Amino acid sequence: MKKDRQPQYGYLSKMKGTTKSSPMVNLSEIAWSWIGAFLGIAAVSYINYNIFEDTDLVLVIGSFGASAVLIFGAIKSPQAQPRNLIGGHLISAIIGVTCYKIFPSQMWLASSMAVATAIAIMHATKTLHPPGGATALIAVIGSNKIHSLGYLYAIMPAGLGAVIMLVIALLVNNIPKSRRYPVFWV
């Protein structure tokens, strides 16, 4: 008798997954991730809202929230390492600003070109940092304040904010004996 077999759907069968989800993270790891993320975002936000308050400068961008997840919650990930954090934000910011300048009246094209090109260049330079995609997109869809920065956007907020968060990550992630950051620099 023939054994009933599930039909193979080719392309769709790839989507079923091959492994189980990650194990639970211990309470200490959760606490250190929270402390690091709080301090990293607090430092960037404090400077933004207290030092740059009366200027046209901006230091807080949404992609830093995603960077905090990586550099405080997934510290061993290759995408959380300093090269990727700094390089991913800088490269993506430059690409985002460039796409906005080339296609200012075609926001759909500038947006898609910015994110896709940022991913490609981050891959090519070994600086893949997923929040970089958001940094590129923010350069295109951001406010007039963001657009008025031009290429300064790559230095501040993208570069300076990433450096501030990196300093906090180096300090906080190396306090407990169970954590070590970074895994690599370059």
Distances (CA, A) of 184 to 84, 85, 131, 154, 178: 10, 12, 19, 23, 17
pLDDT in tens, 147-186: 999 999 999 999 999 999 999 999 999 999 999 999 999 9
List C-alpha distances in Å: 33 to 26, 36, 132, 171, 185.
11, 5, 20, 12, 20
- pLDDT confidence of residue 101: 98
What are the two backbone dihedrals, phi and then psi, of residue 45, each rounded to the nearest 5 degrees? -65, -40
Q: What is the pLDDT of residues 9-24, one digit of tens each?
A: 678 888 888 888 888 9
Residue-level pLDDT at 10:
79
The residue that leads in pLDDT, 43 or 55, is 43
Which tokens belong to 32?
């250190």
Residue 8: predicted pLDDT: 59
pTM: 0.90
**pLDDT tens digits, 111-131:** 999 999 999 999 999 999 999
Separation in Å, CA 140 to CA 30, 108, 115, 161? 34, 9, 10, 18
Coil, strand, or helix at residue 184? Answer: coil
Q: What is the pLDDT of residues 53-88, one digit of tens each?
A: 888 789 999 999 999 999 999 999 999 999 999 999
Cα distance between residue 84 and residue 47, in whole Å: 23
Q: For the chain, which residues make up each domain, given as ranges?
A: 28-173
Q: What is the pLDDT of residue 9?
A: 67
Q: Rounded CA gap, 179 and 21, in Å?
A: 22
The predicted structure's pLDDT at residue 137 = 98
What is the reported pLDDT for 54?
81
